[in-house]
Amino acid sequence: MKEYLLKQAKEVLYNNFQKKGFTIPSENLYPFQWKWDSGFIAIGYAHFDIEKAKKEIETILSAQWQNGFIPHIVFHNRSDSYFPGPEVHQSKLSKHASKKYASSGITQPPVFGFVLEKLYQICPDKKNILTFIESQINKVYKNHVYFYFNRDIKDEGLVYIYHNWEAGTDNSPLWDDIWETMDPPDYHFKRKDTQHVDPSQRPTKREYDNYIYLIEIAKKYQYDDKKIAANSPFLVQDPLFNSILIRSNQALIELYKIIGGNDKKVTFLEEKQAKSIKSLNTKLFDENLGAYIHYDLRNKRSLALISSSSFTPLFCGAPDVKIAKKLISTFVEKFGGENNYLCASFDPTNIRFNPKKYWRGPVWINLNWILYNGFKKYGYHELAKRIKEDSIELIVKEGFYEYFDPRKGISDLQKIGYGGNNFSWTAALLIDLLNDSY
Ligand code: DGY
Protein backbone atom coordinates (compact mmCIF):
# COMPACT_ATOMS: atom_id res chain seq x y z
CA MET A 1 0.00 0.00 0.00
CA LYS A 2 2.72 2.47 1.02
CA GLU A 3 4.76 1.74 -2.12
CA TYR A 4 1.69 2.12 -4.33
CA LEU A 5 0.78 5.47 -2.73
CA LEU A 6 4.33 6.74 -3.11
CA LYS A 7 4.33 5.76 -6.77
CA GLN A 8 1.06 7.61 -7.37
CA ALA A 9 2.29 10.69 -5.53
CA LYS A 10 5.52 10.80 -7.53
CA GLU A 11 3.48 10.56 -10.74
CA VAL A 12 1.41 13.58 -9.70
CA LEU A 13 4.58 15.60 -9.21
CA TYR A 14 6.28 14.45 -12.40
CA ASN A 15 3.13 15.14 -14.44
CA ASN A 16 2.94 18.67 -13.04
CA PHE A 17 6.62 19.36 -13.67
CA GLN A 18 7.23 21.93 -16.44
CA LYS A 19 10.16 22.13 -18.83
CA LYS A 20 11.13 25.52 -17.47
CA GLY A 21 12.13 23.94 -14.18
CA PHE A 22 9.18 24.24 -11.84
CA THR A 23 6.04 22.35 -10.83
CA ILE A 24 2.54 23.77 -11.25
CA PRO A 25 0.18 23.24 -8.30
CA SER A 26 -2.58 21.80 -10.50
CA GLU A 27 -3.27 21.64 -14.24
CA ASN A 28 -5.40 24.52 -15.66
CA LEU A 29 -6.48 25.83 -12.26
CA TYR A 30 -2.97 27.00 -11.27
CA PRO A 31 -0.75 26.95 -14.38
CA PHE A 32 2.27 28.94 -13.04
CA GLN A 33 4.75 28.68 -10.17
CA TRP A 34 3.36 29.56 -6.74
CA LYS A 35 5.62 30.54 -3.87
CA TRP A 36 4.60 28.42 -0.88
CA ASP A 37 3.50 25.58 -3.12
CA SER A 38 7.02 25.33 -4.53
CA GLY A 39 8.45 25.02 -1.01
CA PHE A 40 6.16 22.13 -0.05
CA ILE A 41 6.71 20.54 -3.44
CA ALA A 42 10.50 20.62 -2.96
CA ILE A 43 10.10 18.72 0.33
CA GLY A 44 8.28 15.94 -1.52
CA TYR A 45 10.86 15.74 -4.32
CA ALA A 46 13.71 15.66 -1.80
CA HIS A 47 12.72 12.10 -0.86
CA PHE A 48 13.25 10.66 -4.34
CA ASP A 49 14.68 13.23 -6.76
CA ILE A 50 16.89 15.78 -5.05
CA GLU A 51 17.80 17.48 -8.32
CA LYS A 52 14.14 18.36 -8.89
CA ALA A 53 13.88 19.66 -5.31
CA LYS A 54 16.84 21.94 -5.91
CA LYS A 55 15.51 23.08 -9.26
CA GLU A 56 12.15 24.01 -7.76
CA ILE A 57 13.80 26.27 -5.20
CA GLU A 58 16.34 27.70 -7.60
CA THR A 59 13.62 28.60 -10.12
CA ILE A 60 11.36 30.43 -7.66
CA LEU A 61 14.27 32.27 -6.03
CA SER A 62 15.56 33.38 -9.43
CA ALA A 63 12.47 35.61 -9.62
CA GLN A 64 13.24 37.41 -6.35
CA TRP A 65 12.97 41.20 -6.55
CA GLN A 66 15.96 43.44 -5.90
CA ASN A 67 14.60 44.46 -2.50
CA GLY A 68 14.37 40.82 -1.33
CA PHE A 69 10.65 40.42 -1.97
CA ILE A 70 9.54 37.04 -3.35
CA PRO A 71 6.27 37.12 -5.31
CA HIS A 72 3.46 34.64 -4.76
CA ILE A 73 3.13 33.81 -8.47
CA VAL A 74 5.90 33.81 -11.05
CA PHE A 75 4.75 33.83 -14.66
CA HIS A 76 7.61 31.88 -16.24
CA ASN A 77 5.29 30.69 -18.96
CA ARG A 78 2.14 31.78 -20.76
CA SER A 79 -1.31 30.37 -20.04
CA ASP A 80 -4.81 31.67 -20.53
CA SER A 81 -6.42 29.27 -18.04
CA TYR A 82 -5.90 31.53 -15.00
CA PHE A 83 -7.24 34.86 -13.79
CA PRO A 84 -5.72 37.24 -12.68
CA GLY A 85 -2.66 36.84 -14.88
CA PRO A 86 0.43 39.02 -15.48
CA GLU A 87 -1.54 41.77 -17.22
CA VAL A 88 -3.52 42.36 -14.01
CA HIS A 89 -0.62 42.15 -11.55
CA GLN A 90 1.84 44.23 -13.62
CA SER A 91 4.87 43.72 -11.41
CA LYS A 92 6.92 46.02 -13.64
CA LEU A 93 5.19 48.96 -11.92
CA SER A 94 7.57 48.37 -9.03
CA LYS A 95 11.09 49.71 -9.38
CA HIS A 96 12.31 46.65 -7.46
CA ALA A 97 10.67 43.99 -9.64
CA SER A 98 12.61 41.29 -11.46
CA LYS A 99 13.56 42.45 -14.94
CA LYS A 100 13.55 38.88 -16.12
CA TYR A 101 10.20 37.49 -14.98
CA ALA A 102 6.72 38.95 -14.74
CA SER A 103 5.15 38.15 -11.38
CA SER A 104 2.52 39.20 -8.91
CA GLY A 105 3.32 42.01 -6.46
CA ILE A 106 1.94 40.17 -3.46
CA THR A 107 3.74 37.47 -1.50
CA GLN A 108 2.97 34.29 0.46
CA PRO A 109 4.24 32.74 3.73
CA PRO A 110 8.08 32.61 3.90
CA VAL A 111 8.57 28.85 3.83
CA PHE A 112 12.02 28.60 2.27
CA GLY A 113 14.06 28.72 5.49
CA PHE A 114 12.47 25.59 6.90
CA VAL A 115 12.31 24.03 3.45
CA LEU A 116 16.09 24.33 3.03
CA GLU A 117 16.52 22.79 6.47
CA LYS A 118 14.19 19.90 5.53
CA LEU A 119 16.24 19.32 2.38
CA TYR A 120 19.36 19.16 4.52
CA GLN A 121 17.73 16.63 6.86
CA ILE A 122 16.31 14.44 4.10
CA CYS A 123 19.25 14.34 1.70
CA PRO A 124 21.82 11.65 2.68
CA ASP A 125 24.64 13.42 0.78
CA LYS A 126 25.13 16.29 3.23
CA LYS A 127 28.09 17.78 1.38
CA ASN A 128 26.18 18.00 -1.85
CA ILE A 129 23.05 19.51 -0.33
CA LEU A 130 25.06 21.96 1.76
CA THR A 131 26.73 23.29 -1.39
CA PHE A 132 23.27 23.89 -2.82
CA ILE A 133 22.03 25.51 0.39
CA GLU A 134 25.04 27.82 0.40
CA SER A 135 24.15 28.93 -3.11
CA GLN A 136 20.58 29.89 -2.11
CA ILE A 137 20.48 30.75 1.59
CA ASN A 138 21.42 34.43 1.27
CA LYS A 139 18.42 34.98 -0.98
CA VAL A 140 16.17 33.57 1.72
CA TYR A 141 17.92 35.67 4.36
CA LYS A 142 17.43 38.76 2.18
CA ASN A 143 13.74 37.93 2.03
CA HIS A 144 13.55 37.88 5.85
CA VAL A 145 15.41 41.19 6.03
CA TYR A 146 12.89 42.57 3.52
CA PHE A 147 10.02 41.51 5.77
CA TYR A 148 11.48 43.01 8.94
CA PHE A 149 12.45 46.29 7.27
CA ASN A 150 9.31 46.81 5.20
CA ARG A 151 6.45 44.90 6.78
CA ASP A 152 7.07 45.37 10.51
CA ILE A 153 5.81 48.94 10.69
CA LYS A 154 5.57 49.06 14.48
CA ASP A 155 8.96 47.42 14.99
CA GLU A 156 7.37 44.73 17.13
CA GLY A 157 8.67 41.67 15.28
CA LEU A 158 5.31 40.98 13.61
CA VAL A 159 5.01 41.51 9.88
CA TYR A 160 1.84 42.49 8.07
CA ILE A 161 0.12 41.13 5.00
CA TYR A 162 -1.80 43.47 2.76
CA HIS A 163 -3.82 40.92 0.80
CA ASN A 164 -5.73 37.79 1.75
CA TRP A 165 -3.78 35.90 -0.93
CA GLU A 166 -0.62 36.69 1.03
CA ALA A 167 -1.98 34.66 3.95
CA GLY A 168 -2.53 31.69 1.66
CA THR A 169 -5.90 31.17 3.37
CA ASP A 170 -7.62 33.00 0.53
CA ASN A 171 -11.32 33.26 1.38
CA SER A 172 -11.23 32.47 5.08
CA PRO A 173 -14.16 33.88 7.08
CA LEU A 174 -11.44 35.77 8.97
CA TRP A 175 -11.49 38.38 6.25
CA ASP A 176 -15.28 38.90 6.21
CA ASP A 177 -15.04 41.71 8.76
CA ILE A 178 -12.48 43.48 6.60
CA TRP A 179 -14.62 43.13 3.47
CA GLU A 180 -17.36 44.89 5.48
CA THR A 181 -15.15 47.99 5.61
CA MET A 182 -14.58 48.02 1.84
CA ASP A 183 -16.78 48.83 -1.10
CA PRO A 184 -14.91 47.92 -4.28
CA PRO A 185 -16.24 48.59 -7.78
CA ASP A 186 -18.32 45.87 -9.41
CA TYR A 187 -15.52 44.88 -11.78
CA HIS A 188 -16.07 43.15 -15.10
CA PHE A 189 -13.68 40.26 -15.48
CA LYS A 190 -13.80 36.70 -16.59
CA ARG A 191 -13.12 34.23 -13.82
CA LYS A 192 -11.25 31.14 -14.96
CA ASP A 193 -11.21 29.16 -11.69
CA THR A 194 -14.94 28.55 -11.82
CA GLN A 195 -14.53 26.98 -15.27
CA HIS A 196 -12.30 24.31 -13.74
CA VAL A 197 -13.94 23.82 -10.34
CA ASP A 198 -17.55 23.79 -9.12
CA PRO A 199 -18.23 27.46 -8.17
CA SER A 200 -19.76 26.35 -4.85
CA GLN A 201 -16.22 25.33 -3.85
CA ARG A 202 -14.66 28.69 -4.79
CA PRO A 203 -14.87 32.32 -3.57
CA THR A 204 -17.78 34.51 -4.71
CA LYS A 205 -17.66 37.25 -7.36
CA ARG A 206 -17.95 39.92 -4.68
CA GLU A 207 -14.97 38.44 -2.85
CA TYR A 208 -13.00 38.58 -6.10
CA ASP A 209 -13.95 42.27 -6.42
CA ASN A 210 -12.24 42.79 -3.04
CA TYR A 211 -9.18 40.81 -4.11
CA ILE A 212 -8.77 42.80 -7.33
CA TYR A 213 -9.42 46.10 -5.57
CA LEU A 214 -6.54 45.45 -3.15
CA ILE A 215 -4.25 44.73 -6.08
CA GLU A 216 -5.38 47.92 -7.85
CA ILE A 217 -4.56 49.96 -4.74
CA ALA A 218 -1.09 48.42 -4.52
CA LYS A 219 -0.55 49.12 -8.24
CA LYS A 220 -1.64 52.71 -7.80
CA TYR A 221 1.29 53.05 -5.38
CA GLN A 222 3.70 51.09 -7.63
CA TYR A 223 3.82 48.33 -5.02
CA ASP A 224 5.59 50.67 -2.61
CA ASP A 225 5.37 49.07 0.85
CA LYS A 226 5.23 52.33 2.80
CA LYS A 227 2.38 53.66 0.68
CA ILE A 228 0.55 50.35 0.85
CA ALA A 229 0.93 50.35 4.63
CA ALA A 230 -0.50 53.86 4.74
CA ASN A 231 -3.37 53.26 2.35
CA SER A 232 -4.45 49.64 1.99
CA PRO A 233 -7.75 48.81 3.70
CA PHE A 234 -6.35 45.34 4.34
CA LEU A 235 -3.41 45.33 6.78
CA VAL A 236 -3.25 42.27 9.00
CA GLN A 237 -0.83 40.48 11.31
CA ASP A 238 -1.45 36.81 10.66
CA PRO A 239 -0.35 34.12 13.16
CA LEU A 240 0.23 31.61 10.35
CA PHE A 241 2.43 33.94 8.30
CA ASN A 242 4.40 35.06 11.35
CA SER A 243 4.81 31.51 12.69
CA ILE A 244 6.23 30.43 9.37
CA LEU A 245 8.60 33.40 9.41
CA ILE A 246 9.75 32.47 12.93
CA ARG A 247 10.15 28.78 12.03
CA SER A 248 12.20 29.79 8.99
CA ASN A 249 14.31 32.26 11.03
CA GLN A 250 15.25 29.36 13.28
CA ALA A 251 16.11 27.16 10.32
CA LEU A 252 18.33 29.88 8.81
CA ILE A 253 20.13 30.31 12.13
CA GLU A 254 20.79 26.54 12.35
CA LEU A 255 21.93 26.32 8.74
CA TYR A 256 24.25 29.34 8.99
CA LYS A 257 25.80 27.72 12.06
CA ILE A 258 26.46 24.54 10.08
CA ILE A 259 27.91 26.54 7.19
CA GLY A 260 30.04 28.66 9.56
CA GLY A 261 30.83 32.40 9.46
CA ASN A 262 27.85 34.68 8.80
CA ASP A 263 27.88 35.91 12.42
CA LYS A 264 26.20 39.21 11.63
CA LYS A 265 23.34 37.48 9.87
CA VAL A 266 22.89 35.08 12.77
CA THR A 267 22.87 37.96 15.27
CA PHE A 268 20.29 39.84 13.21
CA LEU A 269 18.05 36.79 12.99
CA GLU A 270 18.41 35.98 16.70
CA GLU A 271 17.45 39.51 17.71
CA LYS A 272 14.41 39.51 15.45
CA GLN A 273 13.49 36.02 16.55
CA ALA A 274 13.31 36.96 20.23
CA LYS A 275 11.15 39.98 19.48
CA SER A 276 8.86 38.09 17.11
CA ILE A 277 8.23 35.28 19.57
CA LYS A 278 7.49 37.71 22.37
CA SER A 279 5.01 39.73 20.30
CA LEU A 280 3.34 36.64 18.85
CA ASN A 281 2.65 35.46 22.40
CA THR A 282 1.65 38.80 23.87
CA LYS A 283 -0.22 40.42 21.00
CA LEU A 284 -1.73 37.54 19.04
CA PHE A 285 -2.53 35.04 21.79
CA ASP A 286 -6.06 35.53 23.11
CA GLU A 287 -6.37 34.19 26.66
CA ASN A 288 -10.16 34.05 26.58
CA LEU A 289 -10.38 32.13 23.33
CA GLY A 290 -7.33 30.02 24.19
CA ALA A 291 -6.03 30.52 20.65
CA TYR A 292 -3.82 32.75 18.52
CA ILE A 293 -5.84 35.19 16.46
CA HIS A 294 -5.29 37.78 13.72
CA TYR A 295 -4.80 41.48 14.33
CA ASP A 296 -6.32 44.02 11.94
CA LEU A 297 -3.81 46.89 11.95
CA ARG A 298 -5.88 49.11 9.69
CA ASN A 299 -8.94 49.07 11.94
CA LYS A 300 -6.97 48.59 15.17
CA ARG A 301 -8.85 45.53 16.38
CA SER A 302 -8.36 41.83 16.94
CA LEU A 303 -10.22 39.45 14.66
CA ALA A 304 -11.54 37.16 17.35
CA LEU A 305 -12.09 34.06 15.24
CA ILE A 306 -10.45 30.65 15.40
CA SER A 307 -9.08 28.91 12.33
CA SER A 308 -6.46 26.25 11.68
CA SER A 309 -3.95 29.13 11.50
CA SER A 310 -4.61 29.71 15.23
CA PHE A 311 -2.61 26.61 16.15
CA THR A 312 0.35 27.02 13.79
CA PRO A 313 2.54 28.75 16.42
CA LEU A 314 3.15 25.19 17.69
CA PHE A 315 5.10 24.66 14.47
CA CYS A 316 7.56 27.44 15.27
CA GLY A 317 7.92 26.63 18.96
CA ALA A 318 6.70 30.01 20.24
CA PRO A 319 4.14 28.89 22.86
CA ASP A 320 5.40 28.01 26.33
CA VAL A 321 4.08 24.83 27.93
CA LYS A 322 1.15 26.65 29.56
CA ILE A 323 -0.01 28.31 26.34
CA ALA A 324 0.50 25.08 24.42
CA LYS A 325 -1.76 23.24 26.87
CA LYS A 326 -4.50 25.83 26.49
CA LEU A 327 -4.13 25.79 22.74
CA ILE A 328 -4.48 22.03 22.57
CA SER A 329 -7.56 22.06 24.74
CA THR A 330 -9.19 24.62 22.40
CA PHE A 331 -8.13 22.57 19.41
CA VAL A 332 -9.63 19.36 20.76
CA GLU A 333 -12.84 21.05 21.85
CA LYS A 334 -13.48 22.91 18.58
CA PHE A 335 -11.89 20.77 15.88
CA GLY A 336 -11.38 17.35 17.44
CA GLY A 337 -14.92 15.89 17.39
CA GLU A 338 -14.81 12.24 16.35
CA ASN A 339 -17.15 12.88 13.43
CA ASN A 340 -14.61 15.24 11.88
CA TYR A 341 -11.45 14.60 10.00
CA LEU A 342 -8.57 16.73 11.23
CA CYS A 343 -8.24 19.51 10.57
CA ALA A 344 -11.01 21.82 9.40
CA SER A 345 -9.55 25.11 8.18
CA PHE A 346 -12.09 27.14 10.12
CA ASP A 347 -13.84 26.70 13.46
CA PRO A 348 -16.59 24.09 12.80
CA THR A 349 -18.65 25.48 15.69
CA ASN A 350 -18.81 28.96 14.13
CA ILE A 351 -21.75 30.09 11.99
CA ARG A 352 -19.37 31.12 9.18
CA PHE A 353 -18.02 27.57 8.80
CA ASN A 354 -18.62 26.07 5.35
CA PRO A 355 -17.20 22.54 4.90
CA LYS A 356 -17.12 22.74 1.08
CA LYS A 357 -15.88 26.20 0.31
CA TYR A 358 -12.12 26.45 -0.07
CA TRP A 359 -10.65 28.02 3.11
CA ARG A 360 -13.98 28.42 4.91
CA GLY A 361 -13.87 24.91 6.41
CA PRO A 362 -12.29 22.15 4.28
CA VAL A 363 -9.21 20.18 5.33
CA TRP A 364 -5.93 21.23 3.65
CA ILE A 365 -2.95 18.88 3.63
CA ASN A 366 -0.33 21.64 4.01
CA LEU A 367 -1.99 22.93 7.19
CA ASN A 368 -2.27 19.34 8.43
CA TRP A 369 1.45 18.88 7.79
CA ILE A 370 2.29 22.08 9.70
CA LEU A 371 0.07 21.06 12.62
CA TYR A 372 1.42 17.51 12.59
CA ASN A 373 4.94 18.85 13.00
CA GLY A 374 3.76 21.23 15.71
CA PHE A 375 2.04 18.47 17.73
CA LYS A 376 5.17 16.34 17.44
CA LYS A 377 7.39 19.17 18.64
CA TYR A 378 5.30 19.54 21.82
CA GLY A 379 4.89 15.81 22.44
CA TYR A 380 1.15 15.58 21.67
CA HIS A 381 1.59 12.12 20.21
CA GLU A 382 -2.05 11.08 19.91
CA LEU A 383 -3.01 14.21 18.00
CA ALA A 384 0.06 13.93 15.78
CA LYS A 385 -0.83 10.33 14.98
CA ARG A 386 -4.44 11.22 14.33
CA ILE A 387 -3.77 14.13 11.99
CA LYS A 388 -1.24 12.09 10.03
CA GLU A 389 -3.63 9.14 9.71
CA ASP A 390 -6.54 11.37 8.74
CA SER A 391 -4.44 13.01 6.02
CA ILE A 392 -3.42 9.67 4.56
CA GLU A 393 -6.94 8.25 4.83
CA LEU A 394 -8.48 11.21 3.00
CA ILE A 395 -6.02 10.93 0.12
CA VAL A 396 -6.41 7.14 -0.11
CA LYS A 397 -10.20 7.33 -0.12
CA GLU A 398 -10.68 10.46 -2.24
CA GLY A 399 -7.55 11.16 -4.28
CA PHE A 400 -4.87 13.83 -4.51
CA TYR A 401 -7.26 16.74 -4.15
CA GLU A 402 -6.64 20.31 -3.17
CA TYR A 403 -8.98 20.16 -0.14
CA PHE A 404 -11.43 17.80 1.55
CA ASP A 405 -14.74 17.85 3.41
CA PRO A 406 -13.96 17.53 7.14
CA ARG A 407 -17.33 15.85 7.94
CA LYS A 408 -16.55 12.12 8.05
CA GLY A 409 -20.02 10.90 7.02
CA ILE A 410 -20.28 13.25 4.04
CA SER A 411 -16.67 12.88 2.99
CA ASP A 412 -16.79 9.07 3.05
CA LEU A 413 -20.07 9.07 1.13
CA GLN A 414 -18.89 11.44 -1.60
CA LYS A 415 -15.55 9.65 -2.00
CA ILE A 416 -14.12 12.70 -3.72
CA GLY A 417 -12.22 15.77 -2.59
CA TYR A 418 -12.76 19.37 -3.66
CA GLY A 419 -10.96 21.95 -5.79
CA GLY A 420 -8.14 20.93 -8.12
CA ASN A 421 -7.25 17.26 -8.60
CA ASN A 422 -3.71 15.88 -8.82
CA PHE A 423 -2.67 18.69 -6.55
CA SER A 424 1.09 18.91 -6.14
CA TRP A 425 1.51 19.77 -2.46
CA THR A 426 -1.02 17.10 -1.46
CA ALA A 427 1.23 14.57 -3.22
CA ALA A 428 4.49 16.09 -1.99
CA LEU A 429 3.49 16.25 1.66
CA LEU A 430 2.00 12.76 1.55
CA ILE A 431 5.45 11.57 0.46
CA ASP A 432 6.98 13.33 3.46
CA LEU A 433 4.36 11.94 5.87
CA LEU A 434 4.82 8.39 4.55
CA ASN A 435 8.59 8.68 4.96
CA ASP A 436 8.25 9.94 8.52
CA SER A 437 8.73 7.00 10.86
CA TYR A 438 7.46 8.87 13.94
C1 DGY B 1 -6.10 31.58 -6.42
O2 DGY B 1 -6.14 32.07 -7.55
O3 DGY B 1 -7.07 31.07 -5.86
C4 DGY B 1 -4.83 31.57 -5.72
O5 DGY B 1 -4.89 30.94 -4.49
C6 DGY B 1 -4.29 32.96 -5.56
O7 DGY B 1 -3.00 32.84 -5.16
For the full predicted model, state whether its pTM sits above 0.85: yes
Cα-to-centroid distance, 208 and ligand 1 (Å): 10
3-state helix, strand, coil in the chain (%, to 5): 55, 10, 35
Strands (E), 16-95: 17-18, 22-23, 33-34, 73-75
Helix extents (H) in 260-342: 263-283, 313-316, 321-335
Atom number in ligand 1 closest to CA 104: 7
Residue 72, ligand 1, Cβ within 6 A = yes
Which residue's CA lies nearest to atom 4 of ligand 1? 165
Q: Assess whether the C-beta atom of 49 lies below 6 angstroms from ligand 1.
A: no
CB 324 within 8 A of CB 314: yes
Q: How far is the CA of 375 from the centre of ligand 1 (A)?
A: 28
Q: How far is the CA of 170 from the centre of ligand 1 (A)?
A: 7
Sheet holding 294-296, edge to edge: 160-161, 236-237, 294-296, 301-303
> Residue 144: CB within 6 Å of ligand 1?
no
Q: Are 367 and 308 in contact (CB under 8 A)?
A: yes
The Cα–Cα gap between 66 and 412 comes to 48
Q: Is the CB of 211 under 6 A from ligand 1?
A: no
CA of 391 to the centre of ligand 1 (A): 22
Alpha-carbon gap, residue 255 to 32, rounded angstroms: 29
> pLDDT tens, position by position, for the chain (438 residues)?
899 999 999 999 999 999 999 999 999 999 999 999 999 999 999 999 999 999 999 999 999 999 999 999 999 999 999 999 999 999 999 999 999 999 999 999 999 999 999 999 999 999 999 999 999 999 999 999 999 999 999 999 999 999 999 999 999 999 999 999 999 999 999 999 999 999 999 999 999 999 999 999 999 999 999 999 999 999 999 999 999 999 999 999 999 999 999 999 999 999 999 999 999 999 999 999 999 999 999 999 999 999 999 999 999 999 999 999 999 999 999 999 999 999 999 999 999 999 999 999 999 999 999 999 999 999 999 999 999 999 999 999 999 999 999 999 998 899 999 999 999 999 999 999 999 987
Distances (CA, A) of 345 to 293, 360, 379: 14, 6, 22
